[in-house]
Amino acid sequence: MPYVDVGKENSTSIHLYYEDHGTGQPVVLIHGYPLSSASWEKQVPALLQAGHRVIAYDRRGFGKSSQPTSGYNYNTFAEDLHKLVTHLKLTDFALVGFSMGGGEVARYIGRYGSKDVSKAVIISGVPPFLLKTADNPEGVDGSVFEGIEKAVSADRYAFFTAFFKDFYNTDVYLGKRVSEQAVQASWNVAASASGTASLACVPTWYEDFRGDVAQIDVPTLVIQGDSDRIVPFSASGQRTAKLVSGAELVVIKDGPHNIAWTHADEVNTALLNFLAKPAAIGQASAPKRKAVA
């Protein structure tokens, strides 16, 4: 299986598992919490059929990647992504992030610039800033995140069961757009993740990405459901689309958090149409920003 070495914890190397399929313009897929790259199951075939090279990887602590007890912050996540991109010698690639993966898209461009990035896509993402503060009144009260941390710490398996009900809006879509087996499969992936990562990632959800989002200077697509119970649309996608100059916004009516599964056809259509557009369309083209030394 393909891995890239991204660091060490004491005497043990930290490896990220990735898959690299197809040819054509590269698209890098970044999964959400608490899943793995396998969660892109409904997008990978569509992207390959459209002629893209598709790279999907597991975030540290999740899926088939190493499970260290350190590095669960967005600077490290972005560095891990940069090491993968460098290892594969990617140029002219699109970054597509779901949920937590939207944070990697923003932080990667914020830290490393957009020299080799062609486009950015954020699906149900955590940017720009989820925490309610004096200068961010649209955010979510900090007590909500504290409650999640306590629940994960007490019994993460029970937490995952409750979490996936809102992840898929199972009271609305179970047996229609998502099966019991698909929800169980998600739970199985979550249960196999690192216990450390499962808890340590929760505070990263309210990272302040406003400075990173302001530096996105490539064509950008934001997709989110307006019934997202995990990441409120009004505090995330709606604001991100306004903050990125020329960004396109696609709102999936009645869509839950994981629209990539429940509304895959709509998501795939929006994604493929956006990727197929010439780079200058969809956003005013600014000079590509290089990484800051």
Q: Which single residue is written with the structure tokens 């009900």?
A: 165
Of 18, 26, 15, nearest to 61 by C-alpha is 15
Active-site annotation holder among 58, 80, 217, 228: 228
How far is the C-alpha of 250 from the C-alpha of 176, rounded, in Å?
A: 22
Of 43, 31, 78, nearest to 190 by C-alpha is 31
82 catalytic? Reply is no
Active-site annotation holder among 15, 31, 52, 257: 257
Active-site annotation holder among 65, 99, 186, 236: 99
265 catalytic? Reply is no
* 232 neighbors 137 (Cβ within 8 angstroms): no
Of 152, 168, 155, 164, nearest to 188 by C-alpha is 164
| Token representation of residue 151 | 């629940």
| Token representation of residue 103 | 């944070």
How far is the C-alpha of 268 from the C-alpha of 284, rounded, in Å?
A: 23
Of 257, 266, 248, nearest to 46 by C-alpha is 266
99 catalytic? Reply is yes
How far is the C-alpha of 50 from the C-alpha of 101, rounded, in Å?
A: 22
Annotated catalytic residues are: 99, 228, 257
